[in-house]
Chains A and B, each alone.
Chain A
């Protein structure tokens, strides 16, 4: 390949690689065309616009990927390799424009350009997204062939690809966030695509809001990283993590952490905690990692934010395949891999991630066992598989986690598309209890789905086997938190067994046995098809005929083939003696905790490979065998017995552990209560007070209304009383204050006062003690009275000029005609002299 000249596309300057701009722009153009003129250009036009936009984007992505390979192979890289830098980092980038300037500290700022970057990590992801995206666009042309909203659908789908490309190609956290929220929008629109069904619209809203909770964490995490890590950009952050200052700043303990460590003795260095995690440092960096992980939990449907994903199945099935299985939901793992160089510094957070991932994997697998709808089983399976990916990241094997993203994209997309094809053929039925025997009628759907099932349950030599095995073995051999690693391994193994069980259960019930149970030859066709893509008689036997079914089946075969084959990219170390092709390719971009460990540790880690693999195969045999025994041989009787034996538990699991209900009863009720309180408080208390003031003013007006008689004598009396009051106030209660007008040398003082006052001025030295900060301390009252005793005779002059050389206290005493006295003090500082620091009261 080195010797083939691909022309300018492959040799363009690596930092002006315009092609990336086109890759991103084409889907957006598709979205705009379909969104605005979709109804006008007709069905064919929409298909052509949408599919060609993504397809061309895919072709250009292949070119970009080849260019990346070529750049990696060029002379400079070889020089670096020979110079002992095997992790030479190659990337292509394209800066579209300068977006805005964001702060990276109290006063420092950083330019955030819209810049796209292809490195090994984003290059692989790019191929997956545009490749699977193209296949699913083709599939959708068949699936949506009867839906009147096809133009809107393809506009949204193209918009999704555009946003997803921003997410994976963005070179900074902010540009990534642009795509991150963009895919959220596309997901919201597509889940609620059939918006006339209010439940579907609610599912879309739920997805958006749960994701927003994660996004809030992401924004805060970003802020911390920018503040302490000094940049929003991945490349700069990576470089900063080699610098002492930034590492120290990231490891600095947070205020809350200091408080906790002070308040809870022994928290920081607890030996018991130490067996789980190497250390808890409560640092800013750890907080940032955790907050970013909350964002990942939202997007990648991890506990406790996974609740939106099963509901998201309300969207059309191609959407479930593309967004909610293959691409968008893996964004969290993608972000962790992008920041793997950072996460390897915070092993506590990694352990949390591993535990959350393992728990989610197991938890979701238990729910999947009981579900009866095809898409629900697959949805919980997706949550569970995403948990596996997080397990991989959490034990420090980021490329293993990403490898599972890669393989999962193919087999899960295939399974979802297959499920969609089944629904399309069976009049939108997806309850497996109504299906059955489909292999007879839908052989071309059954075959790829069976292949994909083999992959997801980890049948040896399929892609799922390799990627799951890699995660399990790295969990078992976790070098930095062995206990966590073993717990995670055990949970992962249990989840893998359950995966094999529930997938085989679904496939056997739906595809094997006696022909579709919903089919009743005597029944009259009157069922209503609310999605608008009906296919005549809903009671008819399913069939694979028609152009739309052909469009749907072709992608299934492609994906099934890939689901089998891509495993070859990550053959285990134990078989070949070296890392797989994909992990090796990713190595420059994705960190691994093993990269910084000694050769003995690495060797020790690899010694776990065979035991883990054997355990994985055993779990596969157990799960599959059990499912075959229960559902194939015993026709499901043991399962019914178990359900009957523990009906409460069965209902609980079937109701998805009632987590949604729990949230509804706690958090949602709290927020709703707060909102009702705020609205009521506002109406009755805050505004009530305002209206009360208004009413009081009016009432007061009513009270004093009788006074406004218009009789001059009464007004005159009021004036008289008022004047008298003023005179009494001015004469009985003297008041005085000093104003000073600084001049050059002499300072002019002016006393305010009233009629008939006489004034006495005095000056004295202030209290020199440094702790005297208040005026009462610096110019004490008793010294003022002393000074006034020595002062000259009172006069009528309100002004006084005095030359001030050192700080002086000035006091003036005013006496009114009735002999009542008042005084005022001030401290004057000489002009130009060194001024002693005087603390204002408010400091």
Chain B
């Protein structure tokens, strides 16, 4: 453990503190709602404060590439299950997003949720526990446990606190995502069994299992099992239909957490586990994933345009936005992946804010039908102003957070090396076409359609004459809603104007992840093609080959991250040199 780390077992604190606090919440008397609310928000804020420690030393050149705040002890030794936690640049901002949004969501939700506040607080805190656990777990058993545990509180939040059709939505959400992850469990068990065969002992450890190599067909099936679970969670087209239902029925707070954080576990898992563990399969299927992502971008945007339910619209916009994230990840270029991670955070903030805003209207009118509104800009001017701002962030106006992510993903996949298509193969000799530009073309059409549906709904709700008499006396944002929105607005500009602060903490990890990914892919391709049986990759995963294989892949050597103070003098030439 490093001297810069101020709290020992910080990750354990972040995981278990909310869980324990959730239990304690049950002992606070229901007759003291103020205490209860203060308790819930207080716990969330305390954890947010604690989680800020993760930023300490997060750009330190060596540490930021590997896992930090590592805790690695035996848990169930007979099955090789370990309590292995760690955070790197890929998960750092997602954890902070979780701790940032949870107290905010709790505080905002108390406006609408008047009954069973205690249960709501407990469920939210428990949910936070499981989500952080899933982000930091480096043992596949531990990850799977948290992954499934997450479903329980969310199931309750949707089912108990949701709308009219909430039980249908909750069951659909639960079964759909659960069914996907069962195959992941099978795949994990298969991998562990093979590890046992090869080494003589069990291990669920991510870094151990990364050393496993499989025959091509087996690897593809394992990849498919993992990716199915993650694709459902993302959700990718065409396994996305649980999302609109879940969002429509969930309470505002539930929708915010679901869209802002839970969906990110799908994209996070795809990067960390699907690509990290099965690079050959990822290489084989990568362009196809990118194609599905692009279909999702366009399809989600088109479907969003025709929605009359405000929350369904935002849900479909999530399908579209997460298509961007998946495109960035499947481009497997450093910028594309960094951009995708930034976009995960961006989407969490923009869509969280959108759901919060929709909730504001729902609290006043108890309807989500867009046609019920119109001309609200006159009645609720500040609300309209914030909504337009968030809309601009959602459609990626430069200066807001949405632009950075979309721009990096589009340009990153435009020139991505690994998005290629081999054809006219004679033996192993193929003609290779770079197809990144076509994906970029599809993605920018999503940028256009994003403006279409968001501005369309903005006009329907806010502009025109206020014809509906029920809207005439609506009140503008109250102080609780302002308190919820203000941090999100600040975050929109912080990420949009100063993304370097975030990117500096993401990029080293991404580069090192991709270096390992590429070197493992090279090792598998050269060494193991003919194996019908699994084998262990000796050191290949951890030690990249010395020479560049000459295929234009990113170099295995990771450029040193430059300390922040020295960046003013950093010239572009230097960056280019490092990049090459």
Contacts and interface: CB of A to CB of B under 8 A. Distances in A.
Interface of A: 35, 97-111, 174, 177-178, 180-182, 185, 188-189, 192, 195-198, 201-202, 205, 208-209, 212-213, 215-216, 219-220, 222-224, 226-227, 231, 236, 255, 671, 674-679, 682, 686-687, 690, 694, 737-742, 750, 771, 773, 775, 778, 824-827, 829, 835, 837-843
Contacts of B555: 107
Contact of A196 (B307, B417, B464): B464
Contact of B444 (A202, A220, A739, A773): A220
Contacts of B404: 100
Contacts of B189: none
B505 to A, nearest CB: 13
Given A103-B415, A829-B527, 11 more contacts: A102-B411, A108-B575, A181-B397, A219-B444, A223-B410, A227-B414, A826-B532, A840-B528, A840-B530, A842-B280, A843-B428
Interface stretch (B63-71, B153-161, B253-261, B455-463): B455-463
B428 A201 contact: no
A775 B216 CA distance: 12
Contacts of B307: 679
Given A739-B198, A838-B529, A196 B302 contact: no
B469 interface: no
Contacts of A185: 392, 397
Contacts of A687: 241, 245
Interface stretch (B39-47, B103-111, B364-372, B493-501): B493-501
A38 to B, nearest CB: 11
Interface in B446-482: 447-449, 451-452, 455-456, 459, 462-466
B546 interface: no
Given A219-B410, A222-B411, A742 B532 contact: no
Nearest to A100: B499
B501 to A, nearest CB: 10
A835 B527 contact: yes
22 contacts: A101-B335, A102-B407, A103-B335, A103-B411, A103-B415, A104-B415, A106-B552, A107-B553, A107-B555, A108-B575, A110-B575, A192-B459, A195-B377, A212-B451, A213-B448, A216-B447, A223-B410, A231-B572, A236-B572, A679-B307, A690-B241, A690-B242
Contacts of B455: 188, 205, 208-209
Contacts of B412: 103
Contacts of B532: 737-738, 775, 824-827
Contact of B500 (A98, A189, A223): A98
Interface residues of B, number: 99
A100 B494 CA distance: 12
Contacts of A198: 459, 463-465
Interface stretch (B29-37, B49-57, B75-83, B433-441): B433-441
A366 to B, nearest CB: 30
B302 A678 contact: yes
A195 B498 CA distance: 33
A104 B580 CA distance: 11
Contacts of A771: 427
B175 interface: yes
Nearest to A192: B463
B9 interface: no
B236 to A, nearest CB: 12
With most chain A CB atoms within 10 A of its CB, the pick from B307, B451, B575 is B451
A93 B302 CA distance: 43
Chain B, interface SS category: helix
Given A201-B464, A223-B440, A842 B284 contact: yes
With most chain A CB atoms within 10 A of its CB, the pick from B398, B427, B531, B580 is B398
A92 B404 CA distance: 27
B323 interface: no
A108 B576 contact: yes
A674 B335 contact: no
Interface of B: 172, 175-176, 197-198, 216-217, 220, 238, 240-242, 245, 280-281, 284, 299, 302-303, 305-307, 333-336, 375, 377-378, 385, 388, 392, 397-399, 403-404, 407-408, 410-412, 414-417, 427-428, 433-434, 437, 440-441, 444-445, 447-449, 451-452, 455-456, 459, 462-466, 497-500, 503, 507, 524-536, 552-555, 567-568, 570, 572, 575-576, 579-580
Contacts of B216: 840-842
A106 B420 CA distance: 12
A102 B217 contact: no
Contacts of B524: 840
A840 B464 CA distance: 62
A327 B566 CA distance: 39
Nearest to A217: B444
Given A212-B451, A255-B434, A686-B241, A99 B497 contact: yes
B526 to A, nearest CB: 7
Contacts of B399: 178, 182
Given A107-B579, A679-B307, A835-B526, A841 B217 contact: yes
A694 B553 CA distance: 45
Nearest to B449: A671
A143 to B, nearest CB: 22
Contacts of A205: 455-456, 459
A255 B433 contact: yes
Nearest to A697: B175
A750 B554 CA distance: 39
With most chain A CB atoms within 10 A of its CB, the pick from B410, B462, B576 is B576
A826 B579 contact: no
Contact of A105 (B499, B536, B579): B579
B208 to A, nearest CB: 16
With most chain B CB atoms within 10 A of its CB, the pick from A215, A219, A740, A771 is A219
B447 A215 contact: yes
A53 B241 CA distance: 51
Contact of A678 (B306, B499, B503): B306
Contacts of B451: 208-209, 212
Contact of B576 (A109, A212, A213): A109
Contacts of A679: 302-303, 305-307
Contacts of A840: 216, 280, 524-525, 528-530
Contacts of B437: 220, 223-224
A265 B81 CA distance: 65
A621 B576 CA distance: 59
Contacts of A188: 455
B499 A99 contact: yes
Contacts of B333: 103, 106-107
A750 to B, nearest CB: 7
B413 to A, nearest CB: 9
Nearest to B197: A739
Interface pairs A-B: 6 shortest CB-CB: A840-B529, A201-B463, A679-B306, A108-B579, A198-B464, A106-B417
A212 B397 contact: no
B334 A107 contact: yes
B335 A694 contact: no
A773 B579 contact: no
B315 to A, nearest CB: 11
A178 B529 contact: no
Contacts of A177: 398
B189 to A, nearest CB: 16
A771 B524 CA distance: 19
A225 B492 CA distance: 29
Contacts of B281: 842
A224 B415 CA distance: 8
B431 to A, nearest CB: 10
With most chain A CB atoms within 10 A of its CB, the pick from B411, B447, B530, B553 is B530
Contacts of B392: 185
Contacts of A775: 530, 532
Contact of B447 (A106, A219, A222, A742): A219
Contacts of B241: 682, 686-687, 690
B410 A99 contact: no
Contacts of B465: 196-198
